[in-house]
Each structure stands twice: as C-alpha cells, then as structure tokens.
Copies of this chain bind each other. A is one copy, B any other.
Amino acid sequence: MSGNTGGELDFSIETLGPARHASPMALGSQPGDGIVDFVDDGQRILFDLDLATIREELTAGHEPAALELAGPRSRLHFRPSEVRAAIVTTGGLCPGINDVVRSIVLTLNWHYGVREIVGIRYGLRGFVEPHPPPRPLKPEDVRSVHREGGSFLGSSRGGPTAKEIVDFLDREAIATLFMIGGDGTMKAALAISEEISRRGLAIAVVGVPKTIDNDIPFVDATFGMITAVSLARQAVDAAHAEAQGALNGVGLVRLMGRESGFIAAQSALASGEANFVLIPEVPFDLDGPHGFLACLHRRLVSRHHAVVVVAEGAGQHYLDEDGSRGCDASGNPVLGDIGRYLRGRIVAHFAEHGVPVTVKYIDPSYMIRSAPPTASDAIYCQQLGQNAVHAAMAGKTALMVGRVHGQQVHVPIRAVANRRRKLDPEHPLWRSVLQSTGQPVRMINEDPAGPAVTPHP
C-alpha cells in the first residue's frame, strides 16, 4: 500500500541531549525471557524491502534507508516528575484524534507519573488566544472521549508563528509538546523545534501525523484512513443501490483525496461494486473515444447501471479554466467540486445522445471524517499515543511516530516536509482496483499504450 521510493533518505532522529534519568517503567532487557524489553536506539528496520535493491546497496557500501524503532527507552532525558506536557490538535477532523489524545494522557500519567498535562484549545491559535484557556487533562477527563468522533479539544487551521508558540511553551515551562495534525502542522512542528533549539531550550516536539487523505510519506497509512474507507464503502454501496434502482442509473460518489486517491481506491475495492475510480494520480480525458464519458456510455449500454467513485482532487484541470481559487487558512489550495462537475457532464453527455439516465450524487465527506475509529484504527491510535510519549520522554524531538511495514517507528519531520505520498499507478493496490472495476487502465485518447487490464464485459 505504499508506493513510496526511499531514495537517499536520512532517517536519523534528533535528541535534546543526554538521557540522564532511569525510566520508571519496569521492563526487561533480555530478549527471549518472555518479558517485554526496552527498545534500543540502534534497532532499525529497512525502508525498502526489495531484496535485490538492498543487496546492491550493501554491496556498494551504501547505507540503506532504515528507521529507528519506536517504544519505551530505559533512559529518559526528562525527570518524569518535573515534566509538564501540552497537546494540540489541528486541521480538519479525522477519526481517532480523541483516541490519540487519550492514549497520550493515559501513558504520561500512568506509566511516567506525569501529572501536569494541558490540552490547547482549537488548534495553534490556542497558544496565543486567552479564550478558551488550555484545559488541564487528567485520566478521568479522557476516559470516554474515544467513544465520540471529532476533537474534544477543538481544532482550527493556521495560527500564530513558531516564535509565539515557543513563547508560550517557555512561559508555561512545557517540556513535551505533542502535535496531532497534518502536513502544515508538521512544518510548524519543525519550525517550533528549530526555534526551541535557537533559544537553547529543552522541549521535545513530537508529531502524530493526521491526514485523512493518507498522503504523509513513508508511513503505511495514517490513522483514521481505514475508518474513512469503511464509511466510504457504505457510500459506494449506496451508490450501487441507487444505480441498480433505476434504468441506466449512475451512482456517483465523491470522496476525500486532494492529491492522493487512497480512500477512493480502497473504498471502491472494499465495496466490490465500483465500475470506475478517478484519482488525482491517474490522468483521464472526459471526452473523445477513449475518454471517461465514452467508457461510461459503453458500460451503460451493456449493463444499464454504473458506479463511479471520484477523489476530490481528480480532474481539477477541468475546473481550473477560470483561474485559481486561492488557498484556505492551512495553505491548501481550494479545490473545485469535481463531483458536481462530473454530474453535470454526465447528464449533458447522455442528454445529447438521447439516452435517459438517472445520476445520483453522494458526497459523504463530513459524515466520514467525524466518525469514531474502527477497531484497527483504535489500535493504531492507541499505539501512536503510547510511542509519542516514549519518544518525548527520551528527549527525542522534531520527529513523528508512525507505522512502517507494520512496525511503529520514528520518522524525522524534516524528511516528510514538502513531500506528499501519492498512490503509484503501478502499485499493486491500483492494479487490484483496475481488476476489480474492469475500467480501462488509461482513459486517454492519444495513449499509445492502449487499454490494459481486460475491461469487463
């Protein structure tokens, strides 16, 4: 599910300084004795799994890209009893935010004895705005927050400068800052850690990447993604029911995915009912003999119903003719609504050809991102929270925690800044989608490669 290429990657992790204090956790150190052990900084896992590549690199004396394993360290940078922690959640909602916050609070309190924890309200603005003030967080405050979606701390886009935020951290004597947010927030985390370093402060900044689009590089998936797919599958199933319920019925679903089609691809696959999936990574023509409308036309003539799934970032050039739509407060470009556009084009196309069709358009986005997480995301969130705390207590900083090849690791934030993970059209995931939908591999008119993957009859 990755589709990333490592390249010449430096995954080394920054620390605040020597680890001087013993961990209060009573773990083992002897592999094989059945007692779970502290994790050693030297334990690293390969990023690239291809045997030939790794052999070549090692033979050539290159160091393969490898990631530090996350987990509790035996030696800590901070004396737990002196630690004050802050947690902030930013950007759009995503299933599992509350679970991560809960896990951070419980791990800090139960396993390290940290009693001073505050939740910053409504995103980064909460570092500077006096109302509402940061909220003290005890275990009993977070006991049931994972039953509800959203962010109980509140969130927002944009916010103050790194300098203003570090002013707050310094003034409030915060030792560990946990930032749960997307791409922009990871950049802010980097800037904050640089400002901390500039001032010679000892504050660990640990990120938990949150993006429902799953477009953070290197990690297997971001939390909330599979929950989003679970709910999006229901939308695709609904589109299927609508499509079958009418003669020449077309069920059209727009799903999240500004630059990455992971949710669209996986929801289509999970449903098993989609006939076309349009994503930002795979260009397509609308018109012409090989374009999407012609393909849809052929499908309707032969089967009389069709389900189309489109990621919100797909086909944006069709909407851009009138110039830019600017950016939101997080700096993300405002996208046009490809779903409504497609609906209009489909209706117009068939009207022109005298074929009566019924198009039902479904956009479930806000119902998806505000849901509580499924079991696998709940597990993931809990582990992310635990490992974020372990990293911060050990004095590691400017990193984010994530899962790579099924293992929880540390990823330096500088490695992910300004990169976006995309779904490689040659990745097995996209191959499965093509096989499941039976759509042509390319819906491009001047494509010399011709159609690949047998289109379904």
Residues of A152-196 whose CB lies within 8 A of B: 152, 154-156
How many angstroms between the C-alpha atoms of A439 and B195 in the bound complex? Answer: 40
Cα(A144)–Cα(B42), bound, Å: 45
**What B residues does A54 contact at CB under 8 A?**
46, 54, 58
- Of the candidate stretches A13-21, A28-36, A206-214, A316-324, the one touching chain B is A28-36
User: Which listed residue (B58, B269, B358, B453) contacts A379, Cβ 8 A?
Assistant: B269
Complex contact A44–B51 (CB within 8 A): yes
- A233 to B32 Cα, complex, angstroms: 30
Q: Distance in Å from the Cβ of A237 to the closest Cβ of chain B?
A: 8
How many residues of chain A are within 8 Å of chain B by beta carbon?
Answer: 119
* Cβ contact within 8 Å between A432 and B111: no
Of A286-294, A345-353, A402-410, the segment with at least 4 beta carbons within 8 Å of chain B is A402-410
In angstroms, Cα B84 to Cα A286, docked, is 39
Q: Which B residues are CB-close (under 8 A) to A408?
A: 428
Q: How far is the CB of A235 from chain B (nearest CB, A)?
A: 6
A27 close to B (CB within 8 Å): yes
**In the complex, A247 Cα to B123 Cα: how many Å?**
10
Interface pair B1/A406, CB less than 8 Å apart: yes
Task: Please judge, given known A-B contacts A244-B152, A266-B379, whether A230 and B425 are in contact too, CB under 8 Å.
Answer: no
**A426 CB, nearest partner CB in chain B, Å:** 5
Q: Is the CB of B149 within 8 A of A238?
A: yes
Partner of A26, one of B45, B149, B406, B454: B454
Query: Smallest Cβ distance from A32 to chain B, in angstroms?
Result: 7
The residue in chain B whose Cβ has the minimal distance to the Cβ of A405 is B405
Q: Is the CB of B375 within 8 A of A441?
A: no
Q: A52-B44, A269-B379 are in contact. Are A32 and B426 (CB under 8 A)?
A: yes
Interface check A2, CB cutoff 8 A: yes
Contact residues in B for A237 (Cβ distance below 8 Å): 149, 370
Q: Is A362 an interface residue (CB 8 A)?
A: yes
Q: Which residues 426-457 in A have Cβ within 8 Å of B in the complex?
A: 426-428, 430-432, 434-436, 438, 441-442, 449-454, 456-457
Q: A36-B441, A154-B247 are in contact. Are A454 and B266 (CB under 8 A)?
A: no
Alpha-carbon separation in the docked complex, A382 to B238 (Å):
20
Q: Find A25's partner among B24, B111, B144, B454 (CB 8 Å cutoff).
A: B454
Q: 1/0 contact trace for A356-387 toward B, CB 8 Å?
A: 00101111101100110011101100110010
Q: List 18 A-B contacts (CB under 8 A).
A: A25-B453, A27-B441, A28-B426, A31-B426, A34-B426, A36-B452, A44-B50, A44-B52, A58-B58, A93-B242, A102-B272, A122-B246, A125-B247, A151-B245, A154-B247, A234-B371, A383-B428, A386-B432
A interface residues with partner B (beta carbon < 8 Å): 1-2, 24-28, 31-37, 42-46, 49-52, 54-55, 58-59, 64, 66, 71-72, 93, 99, 102, 106-107, 110-111, 121-122, 125, 144, 146-152, 154-156, 220, 226, 229-230, 233-235, 237-242, 244-247, 266-267, 269-272, 282, 358, 360-364, 366-367, 370-371, 374-376, 378-379, 382-383, 386, 405-408, 425-428, 430-432, 434-436, 438, 441-442, 449-454, 456-457
